[in-house]
Amino acid sequence: MQQDSGIWSRMRLKFGHEVRSTYREHKLFWIATILIWLKTYLAYMFFFDVPVTNSAQAFILLINPISSALFMFAFSFFFRGNAQKWFIYGTLFVATLILYADIIFFRFFNDYLTLPVLFQTSNAETVSASLTSLLTWKDLLIVGDLIALPFFLRKIDMSKAVASRGRAILAFVSAAVVFLGNLTLAETERPELLTRAFDRELLVKNIGTFNFHMYDALIQSKTSAQKAMADSSELSDVQNFVGTKHAAPNPAMFGKYEGKNVIVVSFESAQSFAVGMKSTNGEYITPNLNKLIEESHYWENFYHNTGQGKTSDAEFILENSLYPLGRGAAFFTNAENEFRATPEMLKEDGYYSAVFHANNKSFWNRDVVYNNFGVDRFFSETDYELGNPDDMTEWGLLDDAFFEQSLPMLKDLPRPFYSKFLTLTNHYPFEMPKPEHELVPPLETSSTTLNHYVQALAYQDMALGKFIDGLKADGTWDDTIFILYGDHYGISTNHNAAMAELLEKDELTAYDVAQLQRVPFVIHLPGQKKGKTHDDVSSQIDIKPTLLHLLGKDYKDEIMFGTDLFSKQHKDYALFRDGSVITDEIVYTQETCFDRETGEELAAADSALCKESTKTSEKELGLSDQVIYGDLLRFLQRTN
Cα–Cα distance for residue pair 585/574, rounded to 1 Å: 12
**AA identity, residue 65:** P
For residue 594, the 8-state DSSP code is: E
Average pLDDT over residues 146-160: 78
pLDDT of the residue at 594: 95
The pTM score is 0.77
pLDDT tier for residue 23 given thresholds of 50, 70 and 90: low
**Which band of pLDDT confidence, cut at 50, 70 and 90, is reported for residue 169?**
very high
pLDDT band at 640 (very low <50, low <70, confident <90, very high): very low
Contact 143, 96 (CB under 8 A): yes
What is the mean predicted confidence (pLDDT) over 98-126?
Answer: 73
Q: How many helices (H) and strands (E) does the chain have?
A: 23, 14
Question: Per-residue confidence at 473, pLDDT binned at 50, 70, 90?
Answer: very high
Mean pLDDT throughout 517-542?
A: 97
d(CA 380, CA 542): 27
Task: Name the average pLDDT for the chain.
Answer: 88
Confidence band, pLDDT 50/70/90 cuts, at residue 299: very high
Start-end of H helices in 123-208: 124-132, 140-153, 165-189, 200-207
pLDDT of residue 132: 63
Q: Is the pLDDT of residue 110 over 80?
A: no
Report the distance separating Cα 590 and Cα 567, nearest Å: 31
Residue 11 has what pLDDT?
A: 58
Cβ-based neighbour number of residue 351 at 10 Å: 23
- Can you give the pLDDT at residue 639? 43
Q: Is the pLDDT of residue 484 over 60?
A: yes
Q: How far is CA 76 from CA 53, 92, 158, in A?
A: 37, 11, 12
pLDDT at 12: 62
Residue 129 has pLDDT above 60, yes or no: no
What's the pLDDT at 8? 59
Task: Note the pLDDT of residue 519.
Answer: 98
Q: How confident is the model at residue 122 (pLDDT cuts 50, 70, 90)?
A: low
Backbone angles phi, psi at 256, to 5 degrees: -65, -25
What tens digit of pLDDT does each residue of 332-367 get? 888 889 999 999 999 999 999 999 999 888 888 898
More confident: 591 or 110: 591
Helix (H, G, I), strand (E, B) or coil at 592: strand
Residue 15 has pLDDT above 70, yes or no: no
Measured CA to CA, the distance from residue 286 to residue 298 in angstroms comes to 15
pLDDT of residue 128: 53
> Which of these is catalytic: 96, 223, 311, 589?
311
**Residue type present at position 113:** L
pLDDT, average across residues 223-234 = 78
223 vs 407, higher pLDDT:
407
Mean pLDDT of 159-177: 87
What band does 638 get if pLDDT is binned at 50, 70 and 90? very low
Task: Report the share of the chain in percent with pLDDT over 70.
Answer: 91
The percentage of the chain sitting over the pLDDT mark of 90, rounded to a whole number, equals 61
Q: Report which of residues 295 and 129 the model is more confident about.
A: 295
* Per-residue pLDDT band at 113 (split at 50, 70, 90): confident
User: Given a cut of 60, is residue 121 above it in pLDDT?
Assistant: no
The type of residue at 142 is I
Region for 39 from its dihedrals, namely left if φ exceeds 0, alpha if ψ lies in -120 to 50, beta otherwise: alpha
pLDDT value of position 249: 95
Residue 626, pLDDT above cutoff 90: yes
pLDDT greater than 70 at residue 219: yes
Pairing status of strand 521-524 against strand 297-303: antiparallel
CA distances from 396 to 252, 355, 386, 399, 602 (A): 42, 16, 8, 9, 46
Q: Which fold has domain 232-464+480-639?
A: Alkaline Phosphatase, subunit A (3.40.720)
d(CA 572, CA 542): 11
pLDDT single digits (tens) 585-615: 999 998 899 999 999 999 876 677 788 888 8
* 311 is a catalytic site residue: yes
Domain ranges of the chain: 2-225, 232-464+480-639
Backbone angles phi, psi at 283, to 5 degrees: -90, 150
Q: What is the pLDDT of residue 448?
A: 93
**pLDDT tens digits for range 492-517:** 988 999 999 999 999 999 999 999 99
In the chain, the N- to C-terminal Cα span, in Å, equals: 72
Cis peptide before 116, with omega less than 30 degrees from 0?
A: no
Q: Return the closest-CA partner of residue 44 out of 2, 103, 88.
A: 103
**pLDDT score at 149:** 82
